[in-house]
Structure 1
């Protein structure tokens, strides 16, 4: 990945190593490996994790390269990813055991890859997974997949999810965090709007950590080259400092 970051910085054409793609394909097609292991093995490291290993962090380059890798893998492994989603569906009642957790992890990871393609058939698939989910875990994972791409489908799904779960404090906090950490273009504007959402309360530390803290954890939006992320945080901290200085300090420290 670091070699691709260097290529991007030098404006070279990006290309995935075929052995890397073939290796992930073999893992996806394996019938002997544990499904939870497969899900973890095909998951890319986060942007923050990658930048922590760089001598000079470059958020834009890391984001561009990670996005390229994710989409390219989704394109080249589309059939295998679709097969994994289909074969790991379940209409049974929610169960918290290893097999069920592993099945959900693999299906949700593959769905997230596919959604990065932003293709009509994949969007329809993610919508179907969202609507047919029998538990919040899988419904939220489908929502996260749909949320990768800006547009009306994303907005409708977010609103529908909130309407379903608005009475659950913890789920609403996850809903805020999902939007706050999004890498969609201009997300700072969306987060600013969420400050006025009826479910958000600047006096509630957990809501602040979910929305403001979540936004600060997004390397792309927070470190935007136009400085909008820093400006937004500065304005919020000034408001928050008058309400709860300790929470204000915690947000900055994170």
Structure 2
């Protein structure tokens, strides 16, 4: 059965490219050009995933997302040319599953679609044995990757623990502060960047070529284990 993807984009050239790439990737794309039409389609016949532009005529993308989340949790990836951090944080709070910034590579969009659909499907299935490449021992504050011990500070451990518990979820810096720090009021959000940099360096030092922590520009970070 073909997976239907709703493309909500008012710019014809961008929409045409996305539709072509999605169809070539084996999906069944459907395009609408305004927010009101998008909301009607998403309510009447929910697609497997929606690519939703933020700036739309008749009804903006944030309003569409806010309304649709009252009815279902089908995945939504926001497409935006707006770079303000507050806009992206609002989208995440409303329930966006990912962000892609314009100008973007259509191949990247297809990759994001695959990743989000894969995570969505995994959440709907019975729990399967976890990928044990990354081992966390909460009692001893120890972590290892591929059998190699990671020498982490307690803050680094708690940060990795918070990220890895929900693979694929995008956490804002303020959310990570609340999860990983005993007193978030005493540190700045930029401290998270420093700890993530250290985590990446230590994980790479084990010989792993995979980038386990993805940066989402203007928003925060997500833990993304390898596809295998």
TM-score (norm 1): 0.30
The structure where helix makes up a greater share of residues is 1
The structure where strand makes up a greater share of residues is 2
TM-score (norm 2): 0.33
